[in-house]
Chain A
Amino acid sequence: MKTRVTVTLKTGVLDPQGKAIEGALNSLGIKGIVSVRQGKVFDIELEGAEPETARAVLTAASEKLLANTVVENYRVELL
């Protein structure tokens, strides 16, 4: 089963990389961008096709490794 976990910074956490990207987009002449925050996408292939099992596995993976829950949130999608 194909799945995706998206990890993003919690609101209020300083993201200097996002700011740097914002500045670069502006320099490129791409207007209208209010803010950019950078996150991570993990495309994870699971064996089996049971949605509940899949969510449990991905939640465990996210809580234990993929996200640092001090400063990051995560979102699980079954594709």
Chain B
Amino acid sequence: MTKFIDLTLSGISDGAIYAAVALALVLIWRATRIVNFAQGAMLMITTFIASAVINSSGSYWLGFAVALGSGLVLGALVERVFIRPVESAPPLNAVILTLGLYTLLVAVAGMVWGNQPRGFPPAFSLRGYQVGGTTLLFTPNDTFIVLVVIAVAIGLAALFRLTPLGLQMRAAAFAPEIARLLGVRVARMFTVGWALAAMAGALAGVLVAPSVFLGPNSFDPVLISGFVAAVLGGLDSPPGAVIGGVALGVALSYVSGYAGSSLVPLAALVILVAVLMLRPGGLFAASAERRV
């Protein structure tokens, strides 16, 4: 029973991180209909920047803030410089471009910081809570991860539903031409979408770095899980991304705990295919109208 609780709790904490990555992918998909394969490398860069700031200033929270800020800037920059030229090209071109960007950023990080993974400090203690003499596999830092991701998800939902900026972003994503006629600066909304997405990604990077260490390729598995979570939930749905992330985290935690960690990639495949066979657009897909 303790094992079950442990696995559930650590699954929720992993899942919160997948949810943050999935949110980043969903925001970009909604804004520009592009799956951003460079997301893993972008959050790797912002986490390296955070690490440098933490090391030189000694303050975790300054590094945390810098990571989020540099995420915003990097996201906007990537959209303006690299993505804008291929937004009207065939969709596969954008896929290859983001793969190229991923490769370039990984190489740049290796040149600047070296390929040897290094440690990254957690925000809070990594010692599990004590309950009645047993130590749970859930730490104060895990609590922090879950709360931060919940806060970001709620914040994004509020932004999209309650603010004029959110309304303009939704309009730009769903009917760019009509939105443009009504005075929405569609291109700018795309940039804002990328910036927000990269910030969510940067958050995931800082949160997961203590457990995967910090190196140019450390975040690849996290990105893959985040992508699977986003597809599970439905790429158009931010709540779907969060629920897909947590569900995937918990399910993979059970598989790893009860059946062995070597089966985790296979389990992810089976879960994804099973869900997609029942709902080809993900769990939270709206049924789409198709026209000739």
Q: Is the A/B pair a real complex?
A: no
Q: Which residues on A are within 8 Å of B, measured CB to CB?
A: none
